[in-house]
Copies of this chain bind each other. A is one copy, B any other.
Amino acid sequence: MNAPLPGHVLPTYEPRLVPAAMIEALKARFGDRCSTAQAVREQHGRDESPFDVPPPDVVVFAESTDEVAEVVKLADAHAVPVIPYGVGSSLEGHLLAVQGGVSIDLSRMNRVLAVNAEDLTVTVQAGVTRTQLNNEIRHTGLFFPIDPGADASLGGMSATRASGTNAVRYGTMRENVLGLTVVTASGEVVHTGTRARKSSAGYDLTRLFVGSEGTLGVMTEITLRLYPQPEAVSAAVCSFPSLAAAVNTTIQIIQMGVPIARCELLDANAVRAVNRHDKLTLREGPMLLMEFHGSPAGVQEQAQVVQEIASDQGGEDFQWATTPEERTKLWTARHHAYFAALQMKPGCRAVTTDTCVPISRLAECLLDTVAEADAAGLPYFIVGHVGDGNFHVGYLIDPQKPEERELAERLNHQLVSRALRLEGTCTGEHGIGLHKMDFLREEAGEGAVALMRSLKHALDPKNIMNPGKIFHW
């Protein structure tokens, strides 16, 4: 059913289709919130990954933790797959129903359940998106910093251990999820963590589920850390004569311990795409897009240090975005980069890389990759959370041309091998999904993957939770 794809071979999965009796039971229970319509199934069988596999057999729109538990109990009884679905923005095939099964759409679980501004915490249902959350809490003077490119759901962001542009200062989902409500593979409802900032109470179940990509249970409610909106915010763009100059500026900023809030790289191709998509007039060369948070004096101090470093590296055109409107425009453009770049080559899809290396290795990792990409001749763009040592190359391929996909995958593999040699990781924030299972083995070793597999077998003995992702059963 899944023909091997050129360039990256998906394994053949045994179908485990949802039996008619179970579909009937779901329809009887959920009425028109249970759908087998082709269009609905197809919508839930796609994400931003370059894979095409058949859609799930049935989609259920859940409205509560208890409803999720009911669906999972049925799936457990019939031993069929369950795939949690947020907004469909995965880049690694997390949502693909490689063995069929039930897609549980959590987008209607979109309530902010409790804002505890006095403790800088909030509890949300898993379908709340990051933008919605920030809109709903704006009046409290607090914000939630984690911002992947897409307006992802907080459930999806927890599942992939997402980060984004603010992680260099505020950490990733790993650091910012305090607790979870989880429906386990047997349909039990379990709570992990508390609202306390720290705890030594037993195994860290919260962080075991964060990043588990839906393979251990369904996260339905999430308690998150919030941060006071900084008193002063200042954003700037700075152009550089070369990628090397931009990267070296970043390395020095981090090594000096400047508490920069955002430090993003765009290569000339990404700037060009963003200019066209968002009607901006940024100078089309390598660029750092930065933001500083703090007191007015603190922000000024940080900015001055950074300007000196940048200027030593030949940075010019330091342009400040001082009003909230200017800043929003700039960061919205940054968040559009992926989609903007896709539009540079109509009909294309992107093979997106996600390596992350120790900061001192960033220049070597990124510049060698650029040299390789240039030599290969495939169109590409680069955006990077370079303050974390994390960058993405998006290779733009024509899905009709197997040789382009193959080339992109080969470049991706070369980049991953380089990152691992430099003591980094194959994925900084997108997760393993279908796409990086071989890379995970290369990175973690057979022993560590065997441990992960033992955990999976222990918590999901029938392999019903998003099967086929992260590692082979």
Q: Mark A residues whose CB is within 8 Å of B.
A: 116, 118-121, 160-163, 167, 171-172, 174-175, 184, 188-192, 194-205, 207-208, 210-212, 216, 227-228, 230, 254-257, 294-295, 297-298, 301, 354, 356-361, 388-390, 420, 423-432, 436, 439-440, 443-445, 447-449, 451-452, 454-459, 470-471
| A195-B358, A198-B428, A199-B427 known, 12 other contacts, Cβ within 8 Å | A118-B359, A120-B359, A162-B200, A190-B447, A191-B448, A196-B423, A197-B390, A199-B425, A200-B425, A203-B216, A295-B298, A298-B298
9 residue pairs, one from A and one from B, having the closest CB atoms: A458-B458, A228-B257, A119-B358, A118-B360, A199-B425, A207-B207, A195-B423, A190-B447, A196-B356
Residues of chain B contacted by A455 (CB below 8 angstroms): 203, 208, 455, 458-459
Task: Write 19 A-B pairs (CB below 8 A) sorted by A numbering.
Answer: A119-B359, A121-B358, A161-B198, A162-B200, A190-B451, A191-B448, A194-B425, A195-B423, A196-B356, A196-B390, A200-B432, A201-B432, A201-B439, A202-B449, A203-B212, A203-B456, A205-B448, A205-B451, A294-B298
Contacts of A188 in B (CB 8 A): 447
A426 to chain B, nearest CB (A): 6
Collect the chain B residues with CB atoms within 8 Å of residue A195's CB.
358, 423-424
Most buried by B among A119, A188, A196, A254: A196
Partner pick for A208 among B163, B171, B196, B208, CB 8 A cutoff: B208
A227 to B167, CA, bound (A): 16
Shortest CB distance A23–B (Å): 29
- What's the minimum C-beta distance from A258 to chain B, rounded to whole angstroms? 9
